[in-house]
Structure 1
Amino acid sequence: MSASTQAMATAAPVAETQRIDTIDILRGFALLGILLMNIPGFSMADYSFEAFKNDPSGFNFWLYKFIGVFFEGKMRAMFGMVFGAGLLLFIANKGTKGASVHALYYRRMFWLLLFGLIHAHLILWIGEILYLYAVCGMILYLFRNVAAKYLVWAVPIVAIASFVAGTIQYQNIRAKRIAYVAASTAQSQNQTLTATQTKALKEWRTIEKSMIPNREDAKENTRKMKSDYATVAGYLRPLAWDGQTKYLPFDVWDSLALMLLGLALFKWGFLTGAWSTKNYWTVLKIGYGLGLPLVMYSSYYAFLHFTTLEANLARMEQVSINWIGLIYPFQRILIVLGHASALILLAKSGVAQGLCRRLAAVGRMALSNYISHSIICTLFFFGYGLNYFAELEYYQIYFVVLAIWAIQLIVSPIWLKYFLFGPLEWLWRCLTYWKMQPMWRTASVPNLVSPAS
């Protein structure tokens, strides 16, 4: 065997004694929070939000706003930050140098990418993030030695670049919408359409099929989701593939910026709990103090201007640049730093240690728990399962979330009492190191995340 191959053979996963509790807690919290954002995608028909998101007199309205303010985008941001920190945790103390470390890491990302393809195309969750994270992780590795003070600049730079790229994409769609309206008007007046007008009708129809379904499409999409596995797969797989190919260049930068921020925060000691209590309180106050007014204004703006499909399309025809979109990346980072500070302060305080241990256990089994979200939800909501798609009110779908949370907060620490890894974490490690990893816990390997009493 070559020296690098021998080094890879002796490399092993991070030992339990090297795990960082705060990072596991943050990962667990983010994972559970992601389900809050994903559950409507599993369960609700297109445009079903219109029934309540503009009615302040209803409970669904306030639940929708609360989740939007405190969780929308923030949980994915927190997960991305922790994923970035995980790069340094993975390569630390590997006992390997040079090419062997590179090969281990990229093999790890390759298998994550494959898990993402399986997740999207077999389990049929088009909102899956493993594929995207694998691609971002491959790029992220190139920045592992960059100083933290430079890494943090990725957030504002990418925020502005993403806004520009998004605006270009928006204006392209807007131009096709305006051309479609003109062609549709001519057609309704029985005018002979030009080749350009005929093309405009076809191009907008393509957008309707892939991005902005019309009302009839929405009904048909619901019918498909309530059908057998082959029908659901035939509808969702092309959308998933578009996300993993056509739209990947637009999606990769946001996630990459969050991972780079995570690298910086890990190097600074923020994510490890190394800061003083006073400094965490300062970040919490700044994060919430600036972030909450921004997100509340953005939410109120959406309430005024983005009420229905028809209102959204009309506004698209009128407004060439949605400047309000610049608020999103900044309010999200501010609030997620507030959330992270609050969780780290909770962990450092010694209060609610039972909850913290359970969150840490969920975080240590993040891959298994994330995939189980999709398995449970697809079998509960999709037509080939219990067929509850488009059957429940908005608030009712969160009873499913609470049930899954309860199961994972209870089962994860119990599982780790007997096993070293979650089942998919174990498989991922075996594939990464290309050798069987120990699974059963022994007396010589104590459980550091015991079930709370």
Structure 2
Amino acid sequence: MVALDALRGIAVGGIALMNVYIFALPPAAYFNPAVAGSDGPLDWMVWAVSFVFVEDKFRSLFAMLFGAGVAILMERARASGAAHPVREHVARMVVLFAIGAAHAILLANNDVLRLYAMAGLVLPVFLALNGRWLFIAGAMLMAMHAVGGSLLAFLWLTAEPGSTLALLPAQTFGADPLALDYARVIGTEDFGARVVRRTMGFFAALQTQVPGIPSTLAMMLAGAGLWRAGLLRGVWERSRCFALAGRMALVALPPLAAMMVLDVQAGFAGAMVGPVALFWSLPFDLLLAVGYAALVMGLFAARDGALRRRLAAAGRLSLTNYLLTSLTFALIFYGWGLGWFGMLTRWQAFAVALVPITLMLIWSPLWLARFRQGPFEWLWRSVARGRLGPILR
């Protein structure tokens, strides 16, 4: 389980490498380097590397580990003879959704906890399947996401210029001037204004996450399947882990590189950037995430070391570290912090992401030397159970 925790630590650190752009630059720049922050060759190199190796790979890995975690908890509950394991799971998802809602309103527009909670509600239904059918069900859900997204992409790409249908991807993923002006305004707003705006727009923002439930559930099923198959248990031989990592890289990397070229050839038009980021790259992001999982388990499953222990500590506090990463970025970039929003280029913002990663590697082992779990892990489990659990060792 130490290697699994280390993998979780890598996932939460990897998410920070992309989440920094949500805080540092206009939202569309997360997907589109032509929108803002790309002033020189190094910025474009960072975008290219991020697109192929980082963007949505660690989010996929985090979702996979979430699915594996639910499978582990359900197995333990049934083995211990728990009376209502599904009811307990639903309670955990409700509390997780509440934590995610607070996170979205106070700190991060792109919070994934709400999405994990919504997808996680139906996860126990699929856990009745055997390992092979978990993968098949996940593949079907991901295919449904890609096909449905392709239909929407067709409408965007063939929309009449100037129409509402053409403006939507331009404003969300492109360099629409009005959208960029609005992004600069909200990027420098004070804390009170942000809370009011995000509270008023909470349900509208939540609706944009609902289409992501099938693909997120597919990632979770992949993680549960890899747990059942033994990879995430750490029982595979190193050679088998590395072989799977290599196969996943060979399958995923060429299409991802091709889609990067597709964005470039389209001049980073929003109608192309959006489908590439949200629909077409996601199946390959998941495959590469599986490769990352196999690589890390091959490296760490049977080998102890200082790095593995630090990563494992960060992984055991993954929820707390995820939330504290957002707080760190908010204090650096938001108007109620240092106010660095829009002041850094892409590579500079990427470098800033190393700050919370370094902090989580330092503070996590120190915290766990005295406490059983992280503060937000303790809060999540205590509220879900309806009683305060122990936190001190």
TM-score strictly above 0.5 = yes
Instruction: Identify if the C-alpha distance between structure 1 residues 53 and 304 changes in structure 2 by more than 3 Å, giving closer, same or farther.
Output: farther
Instruction: Identify if the C-alpha distance between structure 1 residues 174 and 63 changes in structure 2 by more than 3 Å, giving closer, same or farther.
Output: closer
Percent of residue pairs bearing the same amino acid type:
25
Query: Match for residue 101 of structure 1?
Result: 85
Query: Match for residue 218 of structure 1?
Result: 180
Query: Match for residue 243 of structure 2?
Result: 282
Count, aligned residues: 389
CA distance in 2, matches of 1:242, 1:174: 24
Give 1:99 shift: 4.8
CA distance in 2, matches of 1:362, 1:292: 28
Post-superposition CA distance 1:338-392 (Å, at most 9, x none) = 21121111113527x2111111111100111111111111122111221110011
CA distance in 2, matches of 1:241, 1:71: 29
For residues 200-211 of structure 1, the aligned pairs below 5 Å read: none
Query: Match for residue 331 of structure 2?
Result: 379
Post-superposition CA distance 1:391-450 (Å, at most 9, x none) = 112111123211111111010011000000001111112112222211111xxxxxxxxx
Query: Match for residue 12 of structure 2?
Result: 31
8 Å CA contact 1:210–1:239 kept in 2: the answer is no
- AA partner of residue 347 (structure 1): F
8 Å CA contact 1:81–1:263 kept in 2: the answer is yes
TM-score (norm 2): 0.90
Please tell me whether residue 110 in structure 1 is matched to residue 94 in structure 2: yes
For residues 24-423 of structure 1, the aligned pairs below 5 Å read: 24-45=5-26, 49-50=33-34, 58-94=41-77, 97=81, 99-121=83-105, 123-173=106-156, 177-178=159-160, 181=162, 214-237=176-199, 240-244=202-206, 246-307=207-268, 311-312=269-270, 328-348=281-301, 350=303, 353-423=305-375
CA distance in 1, matches of 2:53, 2:175: 28
Q: Which has the higher contact order (CA 8 A, sep 6+)?
A: 2
Q: CA RMSD in A?
A: 2.8
CA distance in 1, matches of 2:24, 2:251: 33
Instruction: Identify if the C-alpha distance between structure 1 residues 96 and 247 changes in structure 2 by more than 3 Å, giving closer, same or farther.
Output: same
- Give the stretch that moved more between structures: 227-236 or 129-138: 227-236
Give 1:337 shift: 2.0
Partner-residue secondary structure (3-state), 1:243: helix
Instruction: Identify if the C-alpha distance between structure 1 residues 346 and 322 changes in structure 2 by more than 3 Å, giving closer, same or farther.
Output: closer
8 Å CA contact 2:245–2:292 kept in 1: the answer is yes
Unaligned regions of 5+ residues in structure 1, if any? Answer: 1-19, 182-199, 442-453
Give 1:64 shift: 1.2
8 Å CA contact 1:286–1:334 kept in 2: the answer is no
Give 1:237 shift: 4.6
8 Å CA contact 1:124–1:236 kept in 2: the answer is no
CA distance in 1, matches of 2:308, 2:238: 17
8 Å CA contact 1:53–1:64 kept in 2: the answer is no
TM-score (norm 1): 0.78
Unaligned regions of 5+ residues in structure 2, if any? Answer: none
Instruction: Identify if the C-alpha distance between structure 1 residues 237 and 170 changes in structure 2 by more than 3 Å, giving closer, same or farther.
Output: farther
CA distance in 2, matches of 1:325, 1:401: 23
- AA partner of residue 440 (structure 1): L
CA distance in 2, matches of 1:222, 1:84: 37
**Larger-gyration structure (1/2):** 1
Post-superposition CA distance 1:249-289 (Å, at most 9, x none) = 31100000011111111111011111122211210221122
8 Å CA contact 2:35–2:175 kept in 1: the answer is no
